[in-house]
Amino acid sequence: MTQLLDNIIWNTLVGPHARYAAGSNGARRYARGFSPIVGFANAQRPDFDALTPLCDPGEHFYCSGWDGAAPEGWQIEADSTMCLMVWAGAPAGPGALADAGREARRLGPQHAAQAMELAALTRPGPFGPHTIELGDYFGYFEGERLVAMAGERMHAGTFHEISGVCTHPDYQGRGWARQLMLKVMNLQFMRKETPFLHVMSSNAGARRLYERLGFSNYLEPVVRVISPVA
């Protein structure tokens, strides 16, 4: 079952999120307006011939699992590594999280603009105006202003990703990111799913938080931002 995580982007885009995707047997992308992420059937040998017709000049995409030079017509704009962490069963577990995020509000399409603004400020990862439609999203508000959020994105088999975890700089230190994560995790436990997440390898503080919540490192793949050459 864990082999689904070895190419989780592809397994999501041909599986539960196929209705949000565009592409063929070799390459797929989230449809425009969703998260700017692409996946390949063979992550180590990406099929750019299949991807190119799906993309417009000026678009930027996240992908993972391959290294080496970009093919003709494409450029690599950022190159790093990230950790794919999976919940290992402790210390936060089913039945212990019922009160987590009690004051958080469920986010819907009416909150898309605020979610985009918060993501642009805090940069939790690839985010689009329809990203909060990919799963259950929750947020904390100051009045009617969204100041913290977390939700779900990729999904294959019983694995479900926690994503978009971020807090406005003026409201950090209150434990809201942790509470929102616990709320989402509790929903996943109730659905008999296993939470996982992505975090940049260099983000030591976030990795420590996730370890305290019971996550452990599964993979540390290359992650890149790529774009078609105009």
C-alpha 83/C-alpha 201 separation (Å) is 6
Query: Closest Cα to residue 105, out of 131, 69, 132, 74?
Result: 132
C-alpha 32/C-alpha 148 separation (Å) is 25
**How would residue 61 be classed by pLDDT, with cut points 50, 70 and 90?**
very high
The total of other beta-carbon atoms located within 10 Å of residue 91's CB is: 10
Helices (H), the chain: 3-6, 8-13, 48-51, 112-122, 176-190, 204-212
* The pLDDT of residue 19: 97
* The pLDDT of residue 102: 78
pTM: 0.93
Q: Comparing 3-82+222-228 with 84-217, is the CATH topology the same?
A: yes
pLDDT digits (tens, 9 = 90+) for 62-115: 999 999 999 999 999 999 999 999 999 765 544 556 567 778 999 999 999 999
- Are the CB atoms for 125 and 164 separated by under 8 Å? yes
Say whether pLDDT at 127 is over 80. Answer: yes
Give domain 84-217's CATH architecture. Answer: 3-Layer(aba) Sandwich (3.40)
**Percent of the chain having pLDDT more than 70?**
95
Strand partners, 155: 160
CB-based contacts of 5: which residues, under 8 Å, 6+ apart?
84, 86, 156, 159, 196, 218, 219
pLDDT digits (tens, 9 = 90+) for 172-207: 999 999 999 999 999 999 999 999 999 999 999 899
Q: Where are the domains of the chain?
A: 3-82+222-228, 84-217
* Beta strand pairing call for 159-167 and 194-200: parallel
Rounded to an integer, the average pLDDT of 104-129 is 96
Is residue 14 helix, strand or coil?
Answer: coil
Topology annotation, domain 3-82+222-228: Aminopeptidase (3.40.630)
